[in-house]
Amino acid sequence: MRILIVEDEKDLAAVLSELLEMEGYYTDISNDGESGLDNALSGIYDMIILDIMLPKMDGIEVLSQIRKNNISIPVLMLTAKSEIEDKVYGLDNGADDYLTKPFNSKELLARIRALSRRKEKTLVEENMSFADITLDKSTYEILKDTQKIKLSKKEYDLIELLILNYGKVVSKESLVMKIWGYDTDVEYNSIEVYISFLRKKLKAVGSQIHISTARGRGYTIKENKNG
Ligand code: CA
């Protein structure tokens, strides 16, 4: 499970991250609201811990943008004691739970476990459509017309991430970090192998989608309209 921590107090963010990683979660940290939102919209997180008072964009606004983009993952808001009203407002606006600072680590972990159970229960196996294909999340298949082809979990994560970042180049570093996590020993070369599998599978179902290599920078997904 991958948790995004959006917290501008760097010491607190580091402590949270360390605590969660000791429990076996992967974490990423954003230190302001804008980059927090940007990360949240990548669609790769299973949960977000979101502070309210943040530079660039406050947590309430980040939350509302997350929900506007139909990202339904659990959000645990962090509030200072003086921000009780924010807390109520946050819950009204799509937060799943909140925790008042300072909090103890056992309570935080208990809340996270509760939220992740809730997520599993309500998780909808949503399909995602892009250009001429649909990704079936329940079976990890690419569907096109009457054809389908099975992907591995990692291939699925890769193509999903590329689609979510349509129009942008996604670096190999970012793919590795978001799919395998920081502590991985996966080689960047193996990304190329996964990408080549994906290309073959897209071709096999006759899709016009093309994953192009931006040399030295990463990959970008395109729709080849001319066939
Ligand atoms: Ca703060």
Quickly state the pLDDT bin for 224 (edges 50, 70, 90): confident
Q: What is the per-residue pLDDT for 39?
A: 93
How many angstroms separate the alpha carbon of residue 20 from the centre of ligand 1? 19
Which amino acid, one-letter code, is at 221? I
* Count, residues in the chain: 227
User: What's the pTM value of the predicted model, to 2 decimals?
Assistant: 0.56
Q: Which two tokens stand for residue 207?
A: 């899709």
Find out whether 209 and 131 touch, Cβ atoms under 8 Å: yes
Q: Whole-number mean pLDDT of the chain?
A: 86
Residues in the 5 Å CB sphere of ion ligand 1: 8, 51, 53
How many angstroms separate the alpha carbon of residue 203 from the centre of ligand 1? 48
Q: Is the pLDDT assigned to residue 88 strictly greater than 70? A: no
How many angstroms separate the alpha carbon of residue 140 from the centre of ligand 1? 38
Least confident of 9-23, 80-94, 142-156, 184-198: 80-94
Q: What is the per-residue pLDDT for 37?
A: 96
Listed in sequence order, the residues at least 6 apart from 39 whose beta carbon sits closer than 8 Å to its beta carbon are 4, 6, 28, 30, 45
Mean pLDDT of 101-125: 76
Quickly state the pLDDT bin for 81 (edges 50, 70, 90): low
How many angstroms separate the alpha carbon of residue 146 from the centre of ligand 1? 51
Q: Is the pLDDT assigned to residue 227 strictly greater than 50? A: no
Mean pLDDT of 44-73: 90
Q: Is the pLDDT assigned to residue 186 strictly greater than 90? A: no
CB count in 10 Å sphere of residue 195: 20
Q: Is the pLDDT assigned to residue 123 strictly greater than 60? A: no
Higher-scoring residue by pLDDT: 32, 81: 32
How many angstroms separate the alpha carbon of residue 22 from the centre of ligand 1? 23
